């Protein structure tokens, strides 16, 4: 029973980043659907109240028309523009994809949702047909232009974040690294979109209050929408952090990084006993899994050439001088190590073998040839006088032993485990 509870708790902990990513996905989806079919209108980024709007008529500043109106009793000046006279609602809310109008009777009317949506307060509130036309400040015009440009980025960022958080939720159980990358991208996009939305809507709200506050119009940023966008960012950030930590401790990730599973690296990743061998087989052997590039011939295949003792020969030049030289690499003098097992055995034996370059000097012995006396047989008759013996001489024979063939006293490089020194025996003696 305790084991089942432990397994259940472990499974829930493994799904924790998926839950966080799912929460972020739901929040983003709600923000995108706000205003669709006249619903979720309270998830807004900007509120504009027109219930107290009162704009003087265009002829209200004419004293002549005012006097004429007083004398004749006919209105030549015109009435002040109000929300009801302009056909406006009492409250306007701006969402990501649409805007909604809330009337005094409680009815709601929202515009059609569009990815390219951008709210223009001058046109939407019909301020361009009132006496305020042409009196807009430069700050208001810049704020409207900035919001119009950044609104497309905000909408695109929230849509991209929704896709990435959805992918993170689905891929977390079996693709930790991929889910971590998707969650990280969603987190960065959400952060930038939330900051851009908060700045753009706040600047627009301040500009509306500065220009039309005296006419009874008031505006404020929608704290609900901005707060939810940062909440989605927080959940996505938690999911990204957990997935990043888990992907670093994933054995598959460690194999791709080339980290040994039997050394101290695993202890740094949280494995106290060094971890299990990810290449271990059932029979106890360990073989690294080959990748795609390892299956291609002559790719990533190192060829180690073993330098062995070369047999010495004696050559005679034109002048008759005999010199001991090393022959070229014979078939037994150079061999290629192909298999991993033979490569390891041969390399180990090379390190432990005696260095033939440690003493230097070829051992040479000279032997004098025997003189052969060629004498004619004894004369059969006295008529033949005795002849002097003829001697046939030969050049001395020079024998060169193949061991210690170099004729210079060279320093040894045996058992140093230095690849440069081991396969270049002349470097330590000549060039120092």
Residue 313 phi/psi, 5° resolution?
-130, 165
Residue 277 has pLDDT above 60, yes or no: no
Please report the pLDDT score of residue 70 as a whole number. 62
pLDDT band at 375 (very low <50, low <70, confident <90, very high): very low
Structure tokens at 81: 């523009």
C-alpha R_g of the chain? 48
- DSSP H helical segments within 249-395, as ranges? 251-257, 264-268, 340-352
Residue 371 has pLDDT above 60, yes or no: no
**Residue that wins the pLDDT comparison between 108 and 68:** 108
Residue 109 has pLDDT above 60, yes or no: yes
Task: Delimit the CATH 1.20.140 region(s) of the chain.
Answer: 13-53+88-248
Residue 104 has pLDDT above 90, yes or no: no
pLDDT in tens, 20-29: 999 999 999 9
Whether the CB-CB separation of 40 and 100 falls below 8 Å is answered with no
The most distant pair of C-alpha atoms in the chain lies apart, rounded to whole Å, by 191
The pLDDT of 392-401, averaged and rounded, is 50
Any idea what the Cα angle at residue 263 is, between residues 261 and 264, rounded to 5°?
115
Determine the topology of domain 13-53+88-248 in CATH. Answer: Butyryl-CoA Dehydrogenase, subunit A; domain 3 (1.20.140)
The pLDDT of 186-199, averaged and rounded, is 94
Please report the pLDDT score of residue 60 as a whole number. 56
Residues β-bridged to residue 398: 366
CA–CA dist 195, 192 (Å, integer):
5
Whether the CB-CB separation of 406 and 360 falls below 8 Å is answered with yes
Relative orientation angle of helices 16-33 and 138-171, to the nearest 10 degrees? 140
The pLDDT of 381-404, averaged and rounded, is 48
pLDDT band at 82 (very low <50, low <70, confident <90, very high): confident
Please report the pLDDT score of residue 48 as a whole number. 92
CA–CA dist 85, 131 (Å, integer):
14
Residue 260 has pLDDT above 50, yes or no: no
pLDDT band at 350 (very low <50, low <70, confident <90, very high): low
Computed over every residue of the chain, the mean pLDDT equals 70
């Amino acid at each position: 029973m305790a084991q089942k509870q432990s397994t259940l708790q472990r499974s829930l902990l493994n799904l924790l980043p998926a839950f966080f990513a799912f929460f972020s996905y739901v929040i983003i989806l709600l923000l995108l659907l706000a205003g669709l079919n006249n619903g979720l209108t309270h998830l807004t980024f900007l509120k504009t109240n027109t219930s107290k709007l009162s704009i003087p008529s265009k002829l209200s500043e004419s004293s002549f028309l005012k006097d004429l109106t007083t004398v004749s009793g006919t209105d030549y000046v015109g009435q002040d523009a109000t929300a009801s006279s302009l056909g406006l609602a009492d409250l306007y809310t701006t969402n990501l994809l649409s805007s909604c109008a809330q009337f005094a009777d409680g009815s709601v009317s929202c515009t059609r949702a569009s990815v390219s949506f951008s709210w223009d307060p001058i046109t939407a509130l019909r301020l361009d047909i009132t006496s305020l036309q042409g009196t807009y400040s430069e700050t208001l015009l810049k704020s409207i232009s900035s919001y119009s440009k950044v609104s497309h980025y905000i909408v695109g960022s929230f849509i991209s974040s929704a896709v990435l958080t959805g992918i993170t939720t689905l891929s977390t159980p079996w693709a930790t690294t991929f889910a971590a990358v998707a969650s990280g991208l969603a987190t960065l996009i959400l952060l930038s979109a939330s900051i851009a939305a908060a700045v753009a809507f706040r600047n627009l709200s301040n500009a509306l209050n500065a220009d039309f506050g005296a006419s009874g119009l008031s505006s404020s940023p929608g704290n609900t929408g901005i707060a939810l966008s940062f909440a989605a960012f927080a959940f996505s950030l938690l999911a990204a952090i957990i997935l990043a930590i888990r992907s670093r401790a994933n054995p598959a990730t460690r194999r791709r990084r080339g980290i040994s599973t039997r050394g101290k690296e695993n202890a740094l990743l949280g494995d106290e006993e060094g971890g299990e061998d990810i290449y271990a087989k059932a029979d106890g052997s360990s073989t690294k899994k080959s990748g795609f590039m390892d299956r291609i011939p002559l790719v990533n295949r190192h060829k180690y050439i073993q330098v062995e003792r070369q047999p010495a020969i004696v050559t005679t030049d034109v002048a008759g001088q005999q010199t001991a030289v090393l022959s070229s690499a014979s078939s037994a003098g150079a061999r290629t190590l192909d298999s991993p097992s033979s490569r390891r055995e041969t390399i180990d034996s090379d390190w432990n073998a005696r260095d033939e370059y440690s003493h230097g000097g070829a051992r040479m012995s000279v032997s004098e040839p025997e003189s052969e006396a060629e004498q004619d047989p004894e004369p059969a008759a006295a008529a033949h006088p005795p002849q002097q013996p003829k001697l046939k001489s030969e050049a001395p024979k020079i024998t060169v032993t193949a061991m210690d063939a170099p004729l210079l006293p060279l320093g040894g490089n045996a058992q140093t485990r230095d690849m440069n020194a081991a396969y270049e025996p002349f470097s330590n003696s000549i060039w120092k």
